[in-house]
Amino acid sequence: MTNEDFLRNWLQTVWIEHNFQAGEAAFSEATEMSSVAGDLKMRPNDYETMVSSLCYNFKPSHFTLDNIISVGPEISGLLTVHGKRLDTGADTCLMVQIYRKIEHGKFVGSCSSADYIGFYRSLGQLPEDTIHTLMMGGQLREDIN
């Protein structure tokens, strides 16, 4: 199985089938997942909480993995999880730049950067001008939703 196949199978297992135990089993015990932002550290067993919370108002149906670069044990790509808003049925998606290092059939390194602002905006949970407001140094109101 190629690293791309391994990653695609894992994404299907976690995001579409919600089989978190199988998803967790794909990580070595020492793997710590991080975010490009640097302040988000997760362990493999945190995926159930993260994916479940993201799917509170979102029903994933399928994913695409584009711009794949695979060299030796390392693979990266742009993950887009496609689905529907649960309140309106409108199409929406979550985009995540992912990196994984795979050794002996396990993830041993993991880093990602997700577009959470765009995702929550598409769910109607952030104002349309969120990105502009934040880039101009403003703050979001605390009374949003």
- Mean pLDDT, to the nearest integer, of 1-5? 92
pTM for the model = 0.82
DSSP string across the chain: --HHHHHHHHHIIIIIS--HHHHHHTB-TT--EEETTSS-EE-GGGHHHHHHHHTTSEEEEEEEEEEEEEETTEEEEEEEEEEEETTT--EEEEEEEEEEEEETTEEEEEEEEE-HHHHHHHTTSS-TTHHHHHHTT----TT--
Determine the pLDDT at residue 93.
Answer: 94
- Mean pLDDT, to the nearest integer, of 125-131? 80
70-104 pLDDT, tens per residue?
999 999 999 999 999 999 999 999 999 999 999 99
Topology of domain 3-114 in CATH is Nuclear Transport Factor 2; Chain: A, (3.10.450)
Determine the pLDDT at residue 144.
Answer: 54
Determine the pLDDT at residue 36.
Answer: 57
Determine the pLDDT at residue 31.
Answer: 76
pLDDT at 11 over 80: yes
Determine the pLDDT at residue 92.
Answer: 93
25-78 pLDDT, tens per residue?
888 877 766 665 555 667 777 777 878 888 888 999 999 999 999 999 999 999
103-122 pLDDT, tens per residue?
999 999 888 888 988 898 89
Determine the pLDDT at residue 30.
Answer: 76
